[in-house]
Amino acid sequence: MKKLHGKEYFAAKAVQAENTVKFTIRYIAGIDQTMKILFQGKAYNITSIDNIKYKKRYIEIQAMEVVTDG
């Protein structure tokens, strides 16, 4: 998991997505934006998926933390 920097960070801020992060994982077929990521006790909604250079080796997933009031 990486925090966003530069252009990505400011683009996320423009839509008030303060808790947007990027996950880089090995390629897994079938991942889509209807899924959630559970990481270190937090849930994230997938906002975009990038099959890096279409090589089916790694995927970059941008996701936004699910914030619950309580």
Q: Are 46 and 57 in contact (CB under 8 A)?
A: no
Higher pLDDT, 33 or 9: 33
Question: Which residues have CB under 8 Å from 62's CB, separation 6+?
Answer: 4, 8, 20, 21, 22, 46, 47, 48, 49, 50
Q: Are 36 and 45 in contact (CB under 8 A)?
A: yes
Per-residue pLDDT tens over the stretch 48-65: 999 988 899 999 999 999
**pLDDT score, position 60:** 95
Per-residue pLDDT tens over the stretch 23-55: 999 999 999 999 999 999 999 999 999 998 889
Give pTM, 2 decimals: 0.69
